[in-house]
Amino acid sequence: MINKEVKSALEACQGIKSGMTLMLGGFGLCGIPENCISALVEMKVNDLTCISNNAGVDDFGLGLLLKQRQIKKMISSYVGENDEFERQMLSGELEVDLIPQGSLAERCRAGGAGIPAFFTPAGYGTEVGEGKEVREFNGKPHILEQALLADFAIVKAWKGDTAGNLIYKGTARNFNPPMAMAGKITIAEVEELVQPGELDPNHVHTPGIFVQRIFKGQKFEKRIEQRTVITKDH
Amino acid sequence: MINKEVKSALEACQGIKSGMTLMLGGFGLCGIPENCISALVEMKVNDLTCISNNAGVDDFGLGLLLKQRQIKKMISSYVGENDEFERQMLSGELEVDLIPQGSLAERCRAGGAGIPAFFTPAGYGTEVGEGKEVREFNGKPHILEQALLADFAIVKAWKGDTAGNLIYKGTARNFNPPMAMAGKITIAEVEELVQPGELDPNHVHTPGIFVQRIFKGQKFEKRIEQRTVITKDH
Amino acid sequence: MSLDKNGIAKRIAQELIDGWYVNLGIGIPTLVANHIPKGINVEFQSENGILGMGPFPFDGEEDADLINAGKQTITALPGAVYFDSSTSFSMIRGQHVQLTVLGAMEVSENGDIANWKIPGKMVKGMGGAMDLVASADNIIVAMMHTNKAGESKLLEQCSLPLTGVNCVKKVVTNLAVMEILPEGGFKLIERAPGVSVEQIIKATRGKLIVDAEVPEMVL
Amino acid sequence: MSLDKNGIAKRIAQELIDGWYVNLGIGIPTLVANHIPKGINVEFQSENGILGMGPFPFDGEEDADLINAGKQTITALPGAVYFDSSTSFSMIRGQHVQLTVLGAMEVSENGDIANWKIPGKMVKGMGGAMDLVASADNIIVAMMHTNKAGESKLLEQCSLPLTGVNCVKKVVTNLAVMEILPEGGFKLIERAPGVSVEQIIKATRGKLIVDAEVPEMVL
Asked whether C105 and C160 are in contact (CB, 8 A), the reply is yes
Q: Please give the residue of chain D at the shortest CA–CA distance from A112.
A: D94
Q: What is the pLDDT, as a whole number, of residue B81? A: 82
> Could you report the per-residue pLDDT of A139-156, keeping only the tens digit for each?
999 999 999 999 999 999
Q: Quick check: D84 and B123 CB within 8 A?
A: no
Mean pLDDT of A40-68: 97
Q: Quick check: D135 and A204 CB within 8 A?
A: no
Nearest to A142 among B116, B137, B203 (CB): B116
Q: Please give the residue of chain D at the shortest CA–CA distance from B119.
A: D93
Listed in sequence order, the DSSP H helices in chain C are 5-13, 28-31, 85-93, 129-135, 197-203
> Could you report the per-residue pLDDT of D65-107, keeping only the tens digit for each?
999 999 999 999 999 999 999 999 999 999 999 999 999 999 9
Q: What is the pLDDT, as a whole number, of residue B233? A: 66
Query: pLDDT averaged over consecutive 10-residue blocks of chain C (219 residues)?
Result: 94 97 94 95 97 95 96 97 98 97 97 94 93 94 96 98 97 98 97 97 98 93
> Could you report the per-residue pLDDT of B80-115, keeping only the tens digit for each?
788 889 899 889 999 999 999 999 999 999 999 999
Q: Please give the residue of chain A at the shortest CA–CA distance from D78.
A: A197
Q: Quick check: D89 and A113 CB within 8 A?
A: yes
What's the CA gap between A101 and A94, in Å, rounded? 20
Q: Quick check: A113 and D81 CB within 8 A?
A: no
- Whether pLDDT at A9 is above 70: yes
Dihedral of CA atoms A7, A10, A11, A14 in degrees, nearest 10, equals 160
Q: Positive or negative CA dihedral for C191, C197, C203, C209? A: positive
Please state, as a whole number, how many other Cβ atoms lie within 10 Å of the Cβ of residue C39: 6
- Kindly write down the DSSP assignment for every residue of D194-218, as one continuous string: T--HHHHHHT--S-EE--S--PBP-
Q: Positive or negative CA dihedral for A122, A127, A128, A131? A: positive
Q: Quick check: C62 and A224 CB within 8 A?
A: yes
- Whether pLDDT at D212 is above 70: yes
CB burial of residue C22 (10 Å; 0-12, 13-18, 19+): buried
Which candidate, B181, B16, B59, places its Cα nearest to that of B115?
B181
Lowest mean pLDDT among A93-107, B23-37, B153-167, D114-128: D114-128
Q: What is the pLDDT, as a whole number, of residue A232? A: 76
Q: Whole-angstrom distance between the N-terminal and C-terminal Cα of chain B? A: 53
Q: How far is C44 from chain B (nearest CA, A)?
A: 10
Distance set, CA C151 to CA C146, C169, D170, D195 (Å): 5, 22, 71, 90
What's the CA gap between B12 and B218, in Å, rounded? 13
- Whether pLDDT at A131 is above 60: yes
Q: What is the pLDDT, as a whole number, of residue A233? A: 66
Nearest to A169 among B117, B118, B202 (CB): B202
Q: Does A117 touch chain D (CB under 8 A)?
A: no
Which candidate, A78, A82, A90, places its Cα nearest to that of A174?
A78
> Could you report the per-residue pLDDT of B168-225, keeping only the tens digit for each?
999 999 999 999 999 999 999 999 999 999 999 999 999 999 999 999 999 999 999 9
Q: What is the pTM of this model?
A: 0.97
- Kindly write down the DSSP assignment for every residue of chain A, as one continuous string: ----B-SSHHHHTTT--TT-EEEE--BTTBT--HHHHHHHHHHT--SEEEE-S---BTTBTTHHHHHTT-EEEEEESS--SSHHHHHHHHTTSSEEEE--HHHHHHHHHHHHHT--EEEESTTTTSGGGTTS-EEEETTEEEEEEE---EEEEEEEEEEEETT--EE--GGG-BTHHHHHHTEEEEEEEEEEEE-TTSS-TTS-SB-GGG-SEEEE-S------SB---B-TT-
Q: Quick check: B115 and A113 CB within 8 A?
A: no
User: Best mutation site among D65, D115, D117 for testing chain B: the one with the most B CBs within 10 Å?
Assistant: D65
What is chain D's mean pLDDT, rounded?
96
Nearest to B80 among D68, D82, D122 (CB): D122
- Whether pLDDT at B232 is above 80: no
Which candidate, A98, A174, B94, D124, places its Cα nearest to that of C67?
A174
Local structure of residue D34 (DSSP, 8 states): G
- Whether pLDDT at D15 is above 70: yes
What's the CA gap between C92 and C134, in Å, rounded? 9
Nearest to C67 among A28, A108, A230 (CB): A28
Q: Does A153 touch chain C (CB under 8 A)?
A: no
Q: What is the pLDDT, as a whole number, of residue D84? A: 98
- Whether pLDDT at B124 is above 90: yes
Angle, nearest 10°, between helix axes C85-93 and A101-113?
120
Q: Does A148 touch chain B (CB under 8 A)?
A: no
> Could you report the per-residue pLDDT of B71-88, keeping only the tens digit for each?
999 999 999 788 889 899
Mean pLDDT of D126-143: 96
Mean pLDDT of B12-17: 98
Chains C and D lie in contact, requiring 3 or more CB pairs less than 8 Å apart: no
Q: What is the pLDDT, as a whole number, of residue A187? A: 98
Q: What is the pLDDT, as a whole number, of residue C123? A: 87
Give B62-65 contacts, CB < 8 A, sequence gap 24+: B62/B24, B62/B32, B62/B37, B64/B37, B64/B38, B65/B37, B65/B40, B65/B41
Q: Does A139 touch chain B (CB under 8 A)?
A: no
Say what percent of chain D tops pLDDT 90. 95
- Whether pLDDT at A96 is above 60: yes
Mode of pairing for the β-strands spanning D176-180 and D138-142: unpaired
> Could you report the per-residue pLDDT of A188-221, keeping only the tens digit for each?
999 999 999 999 999 999 999 999 999 999 999 9
For residue A196, which residues of chain D lie inside 8 Å, CB to CB? 52, 77-79
Q: Quick check: C90 and B181 CB within 8 A?
A: yes
Query: Max Cα separation, chain C?
Result: 55
CA B228 centroid distance within chain: 25
Angle, nearest 10°, between helix axes B101-113 and D85-93?
120
Nearest to D135 among A114, A162, A181 (CB): A114
Lowest mean pLDDT among A106-110, D115-119, D200-204: D115-119
A183 confidence band (pLDDT: 50, 70, 90): very high
What's the CA gap between C168 and C165, in Å, rounded? 8
What's the CA gap between B10 and A17, in Å, rounded? 61
Say what percent of chain A tops pLDDT 70. 99
Q: Does A103 touch chain C (CB under 8 A)?
A: yes
Asked whether B100 and B124 are in contact (CB, 8 A), the reply is no
For residue B196, which residues of chain C lie inside 8 Å, CB to CB? 52, 77-79
What's the CA gap between A208 and C120, in Å, rounded? 46
What's the CA gap between B224 and B220, in Å, rounded? 12
What's the CA gap between B14 and B30, in Å, rounded? 25
What's the CA gap between D14 and D29, in Å, rounded? 13
Asked whether B63 and B29 are in contact (CB, 8 A), the reply is no
Which candidate, A182, A187, A31, places its Cα nearest to that of A108?
A182
Dihedral of CA atoms A59, A60, A62, A63 in degrees, nearest 10, equals -20
Q: What is the count of residue pairs from B and D with beta carbons less than 8 Å apart? A: 184
Mode of pairing for the β-strands spanning B140-146 and B134-137: antiparallel
Phi, psi of C58 (to 5 degrees): -65, 150
Local structure of residue C56 (DSSP, 8 states): P
Mode of pairing for the β-strands spanning B150-161 and B21-24: parallel
Active-site annotation of D, residues: 47
